[in-house]
Amino acid sequence: MNFLEEKIMADGVVKAGDILKVDNFLNHQIDINVIRQIAHELKRRFEGERIDKVVTIEASGITIATLLGDLCGVPVVFAKKGETANSTDDKYVSEAYSFTHKRMNQVFISRPYLHAGERILIVDDFLADGQAVHALIDIVHQAAAEVVGIGIAIEKGQQQGGRILRSEGYHLESIAIVESMDPETQAIRFRQQ
Ligand code: 5GP
């Protein structure tokens, strides 16, 4: 087991509805040591790639993206969720269905923060059905920038996001891939990588 799998085994709580709660190190309280290890591991997995910018989505992707951007020496941009209010002229806008909140979110990045030709590494805390990552890919493409890869802390392999993104040809790296989890017994199985 790698460091993140061990942390999930120690502190993760499996909830009904295929939800893994990791509030005590990632989604509420932040364990900086764990986030730092996640950032180092993602940097290692994308070694050799030229990256111009790290892009994530609020809120929980921001800590990982910030430390990774710092390690890579590149800017970090996070997409915002919610109503874009009046004008969308100054923004790249997409939509993502939220698996955890069961609602459609508008997702946007203001135009000055993405540029044509930039090589973007997309980062997030969780990958489930791939809605959030696909919205970010859509936004990157609207800006005529390029997706170099996708770095995820925890992929839930029992959901379809990872399979779809890999079949679309994206370089997807997930540090921990959950194969199955049981809210009754709290058993969690990881995919061998
Ligand atoms: P997707 O868009 O891939 O369906 O879901 C990924 C997004 O939903 C992530 O940004 C994450 O915030 C949230 N998410 C999905 N599943 C889980 C989960 O089991 N636990 C937590 N904490 N967040 C999740």
Whether residue 27 contacts residue 21, with contact meaning beta carbons closer than 8 Å, is answered with yes
Q: What percent of the chain has pLDDT over 90?
A: 92
Residue 135 has which token pair? 């919205």
pLDDT tens digits, one per residue of 167-188: 999 999 999 999 999 999 999 9
Does the CB atom of residue 25 touch ligand 1 within 6 A? no
Q: Quickly list DSSP for 59-103.
A: TTHHHHHHHHHHHHT--EEEEEES---S--TTEEEEEEEETTTTE
- Which ligand 1 atom is at minimum distance from the Cα of 61? 10
Task: For residue 164, give both structure tokens.
Answer: 């779809």
pLDDT, residue 147, reads 98
Nearest to 188 by CA among 4, 3, 20: 20
Four-CA torsion 187, 171, 72, 43, nearest 10 degrees: 40
59 is in an annotated binding site: no
Q: What's the chain's average pLDDT?
A: 96
pLDDT in tens, 70-121: 999 999 999 999 876 556 679 999 999 988 888 899 999 999 999 999 999 9
Please give the single-letter amino acid code of residue 164: I
- Is 43 marked as a binding-site residue? no
CB-neighbour burial class of residue 127 (10 A; exposed 0-12, middle 13-18, buried 19+): buried
Is the predicted ipTM greater than 0.90, yes or no?
A: yes
Residue 53 DSSP SS3: strand
| Residue partners of 27: CB distance under 8 A and separation at least 6 | 21, 60, 125
Q: Does residue 99 have its Cβ closer than 6 Å to ligand 1?
A: yes
Please give the pLDDT value at position 53.
98
Q: How far does residue 192's CA lie from ligand 1's centre (Å)?
A: 21
User: How much is the pTM?
Assistant: 0.97
| Average pLDDT for 34-60 | 97
The pLDDT score that the predictor gives to residue 84 is: 66
> What is the pLDDT at residue 87?
60
Q: Is residue 192 part of an annotated ligand binding site?
A: no
Residue 141 Cα, ligand 1 centroid: separation in angstroms? Answer: 22
CATH tag for 3-190 (out of 3.40.50.1980, 3.40.50.2020, 3.40.50.880, 1.10.1060.10):
3.40.50.2020
Mutation test of ligand 1: which of 94, 126, 152, 177 has the most ligand atoms closer than 8 Å to its C-beta? 126
Amino acid 143: pLDDT: 98
